[in-house]
Structure 1
Amino acid sequence: MLTKKQIQLLEFIQGRMARDGVPPSFDEMKLALDLRSKSGIHRLVTALEERGFIRRLPHRARALEIVRLPDALSKGSDSRGGEMRPRALDSDKAAQPTLPPAAPLVEAAAIELPVMGRIAAGVPIEAISEVSHHIAVPGSMLTSREHHYALEVRGDSMIEAGINDGDVVVIREQDFADNGEIIVALVDGHEATLKRYRRKNGLVALEAANPAYETRLLPEHMVRVQGRLVGLIRSY
């Protein structure tokens, strides 16, 4: 039996992973559940782990994965009636829509995606246009079988978003993005990089998730969105 706060946290993690492809930070969890300190989040995460709902992966930033969901979430309904949902957050502190109901954790057939090469999570590298090989990804990661591809990550500029050197990111091909989304950006027609996207007053900010890297501010015409992060695959 989970407590109200444990269910709220599990729902917030599930919603954020469905939206961004990576789990939220402890600070984001703290704000979403309106707690005063991260120690409360640590206790909730530990309790969920002990009960077999989530798993923490060692030696990785933000390394959480959901193992299973309680019936109340997997059915997309709240059996506790009247329970408050956690506040969804982004770095602009703008109001977000209510998180969508969590989908049941069911086995989905693996789908082969083309791996288009390597993407820089650091200094941009040359744009990638050729398939190097294919990789099987869970069908549950994709909204459809089309318009998705994968890239191998090189660099550490997105480690605080849970994206490490050597990971494979799953990208939905699209030419637009909302502020705060992690995207593949084509810079000046020849450099490809994986960064968080923000647009304001005719400029585009490509933000790293590592304080060692500076945000790049570029005119809008120099940045083309090539796709949005929807999933991540990690090998050990």
Structure 2
Amino acid sequence: MLTRKQLELLDFIRVRMDRDGVPPSFDEMKEALDLRSKSGIHRLITALEERGFIRRLAHRARAIEIVKLPEAMEKPGFTPRVIAGDRPAAPQPATAIPVQVHAVELPVMGRIAAGVPIEAISEISHHVAVPGGMLSGSAQHYALEVKGDSMIEAGINDGDIVVIREQGTAENGDIVVALVEDSEATLKRFRRKGNMIALEAANPLYETRVFPDHMVKVQGRLVGLIRSY
């Protein structure tokens, strides 16, 4: 028997994995369940794992696999609290219908540091096919290979290919390609604080770097991720 919070967390993880292909971060889980600290999420995750509903993979960030769902989720009476950012899973068709997926070739503009910044990237190394649904409208897009582990708690690992929408502005919380002092490029979470810009890592081993806004130029925003296993 699971508690209400355990059921809510399991359903939140399930919906986010169906939508994004990767589980949410502990910070996202904490905000979704309106908990004060991540320690509460750790306890809920541990309880779900001990009861055999999920499995955590060692040495990988955000590596959670749903093993089974409780019977309560299959019953009509189960109605978990609506969580901001969720959407209901699409109903499964009675008969499988082949669907053609439109793919677009994007240039891979070399490697981007998810760690300390590296030299700015400007040369195409190769091309990669990405689903057309990952791209937005008529905007220009490009891809980068990730180098480093500073964004692992955002589900971005060393060697991943990130898909970037080319744009010069960002909202707080966006993961962006930032050009620092016109010479170094890095992949970080963007925060504006007055006339200062903070580039935040998603790994406690890396410090947040803060610059005057004139020293940072947004080169694009993360819109997708491709991983080879």
Q: TM-score range by the shorter chain?
A: 0.7 to 0.9
String of CA shifts for 1:72-94, please: whole Å, max 9, x gaps. Answer: xxxxxxx87975312x4xxxxxx
1:63 offset after TM fit, Å?
Answer: 3.1
1:60 aligns to 2:60 (yes or no): yes
- In structure 2, C-alpha distance between the alignment counterparts of 1:48 and 1:145, rounded to whole Å: 42
**Cα 1:148–1:219 shift into 2, 3 Å:** same
- SS of the equivalent of 1:170 reads strand
Higher relative contact order, chain-length normalized (CA < 8 Å, sep 6+): 1
String of CA shifts for 1:74-115, please: whole Å, max 9, x gaps. Answer: xxxxx87975312x4xxxxxxxxx546667896622221110
The answer (yes or no) to whether the contact 2:149–2:157 under 8 Å persists in 1 is yes
1:11 aligns to 2:15 (yes or no): yes
Bigger radius of gyration: 2
- In structure 2, C-alpha distance between the alignment counterparts of 1:80 and 1:173, rounded to whole Å: 45
**Cα 1:145–1:209 shift into 2, 3 Å:** same
TM-score (normalised: structure 1): 0.71
Stretch moving more, 159-168 or 213-222: 159-168
- Partner residue of 1:95? none
The answer (yes or no) to whether the contact 1:27–1:38 under 8 Å persists in 2 is no
**Cα 1:59–1:99 shift into 2, 3 Å:** same
1:40 aligns to 2:44 (yes or no): yes
1:25 aligns to 2:29 (yes or no): no
- Partner residue of 2:166? 173
- SS of the equivalent of 1:41 reads helix
String of CA shifts for 1:144-192, please: whole Å, max 9, x gaps. Answer: 4751110011122212222122111111111111111110001111211
- In structure 2, C-alpha distance between the alignment counterparts of 1:103 and 1:187, rounded to whole Å: 42
Which ranges in structure 2 are unaligned for 5 or more consecutive residues? 67-75, 93-98
Q: State the one-letter code of the partner of 1:40.
A: L
The answer (yes or no) to whether the contact 1:9–1:33 under 8 Å persists in 2 is no
Q: What is the RMSD of the two structures over their aligned residues, measured on CA atoms?
A: 3.5
- Partner residue of 2:130? 137
- SS of the equivalent of 1:134 reads strand
- SS of the equivalent of 2:153 reads helix
| Alignment partner of 1:157 out of 146, 150, 160 | 150
Query: How many residue pairs were aligned?
Result: 206
- Partner residue of 2:210? 217
Which ranges in structure 1 are unaligned for 5 or more consecutive residues? 51-55, 67-78, 89-97
Aligned pairs (5 A) from 1:111-126:
111-126=104-119
- In structure 2, C-alpha distance between the alignment counterparts of 1:37 and 1:209, rounded to whole Å: 17
1:190 aligns to 2:179 (yes or no): no
- Partner residue of 1:127? 120
- SS of the equivalent of 2:172 reads coil
- In structure 2, C-alpha distance between the alignment counterparts of 1:196 and 1:168, rounded to whole Å: 17
String of CA shifts for 1:16-38, please: whole Å, max 9, x gaps. Answer: x49xxx64223432441346442
- SS of the equivalent of 1:130 reads coil
TM-score (normalised: structure 2): 0.73
Q: State the one-letter code of the partner of 1:191.
A: E
The answer (yes or no) to whether the contact 2:16–2:23 under 8 Å persists in 1 is no
String of CA shifts for 1:177-225, please: whole Å, max 9, x gaps. Answer: 1111110001111211001100011000001122222211101111111
- SS of the equivalent of 2:122 reads coil
- In structure 1, C-alpha distance between the alignment counterparts of 2:126 and 2:86, rounded to whole Å: 35
